[in-house]
């Protein structure tokens, strides 16, 4: 049982390390978004994806280890969590403390990553809105205003003014 808990602690520490990596990438992404460096953003996204894939692998290991611990303790596997396990380890305060520290550190780092992702999401949304505004502006510069000409059924003909500077003949 102690070896399973030690394995769980090491898994949580590795997950925390990966979240720290994602936090570093997120801070770099914020800088890249502000500078609008698309190439660097693509490279950073690839790195984030690789770290996320590795994080998923450790998460699966964590689930398997918690199931093994639940089996050893005679508890239901579906309801076993790290927090519940900490409660079950009241008779072993040293292991309980180590597991609590690993869980709390992981949770804090994950919250930091989540907050940074929200900020980056807002930056991306603003960049999209700015690009849409620019596109609309460029489209409107290329179009002439519609005239107020109507056909015999009182529908607007949608005729555009000419794009030349003068309509008068010389």
Please compute the mean of the pLDDT values over residues 136-151 and round it to a whole number.
70
Which residue has tokens 């690839």? Answer: 46
- CATH class of segment(s) 2-119: mainly alpha
95 with 2: CB under 8 angstroms?
yes
9 with 92: CB under 8 angstroms?
no
Q: What is the pLDDT of residues 110-126, one digit of tens each?
A: 999 999 999 999 999 99
Q: 33: which 2 tokens? A: 């978004």
Q: What is the pLDDT of residues 60-118, one digit of tens each?
A: 999 999 999 998 888 887 788 899 899 888 888 899 999 999 999 999 999 999 999 99
At residue 159, does pLDDT exceed 80? no
């Amino acid at each position: 049982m102690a070896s399973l808990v030690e394995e769980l602690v090491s898994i949580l520490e590795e997950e925390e390390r990966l979240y720290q990596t994602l936090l570093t990438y997120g801070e770099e992404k914020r800088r890249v978004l502000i500078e609008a460096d698309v190439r660097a953003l693509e490279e950073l996204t690839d790195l984030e994806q690789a770290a996320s894939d590795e994080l998923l692998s450790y998460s699966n290991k964590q689930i398997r280890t918690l199931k093994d611990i639940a089996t050893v303790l005679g508890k239901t596997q579906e309801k076993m969590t790290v927090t519940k396990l900490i409660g079950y380890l009241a008779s072993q305060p040293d292991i309980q403390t180590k597991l609590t520290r690993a869980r709390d550190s992981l949770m804090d780092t994950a919250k930091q990553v989540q907050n940074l992702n929200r900020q980056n999401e807002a930056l991306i949304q603003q960049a999209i809105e700015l690009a849409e505004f620019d596109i609309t502006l460029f489209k409107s510069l290329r179009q002439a205003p519609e005239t107020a000409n109507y056909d015999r059924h009182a529908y607007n003909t949608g005729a555009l003014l000419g794009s030349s500077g003068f309509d008068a003949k010389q």
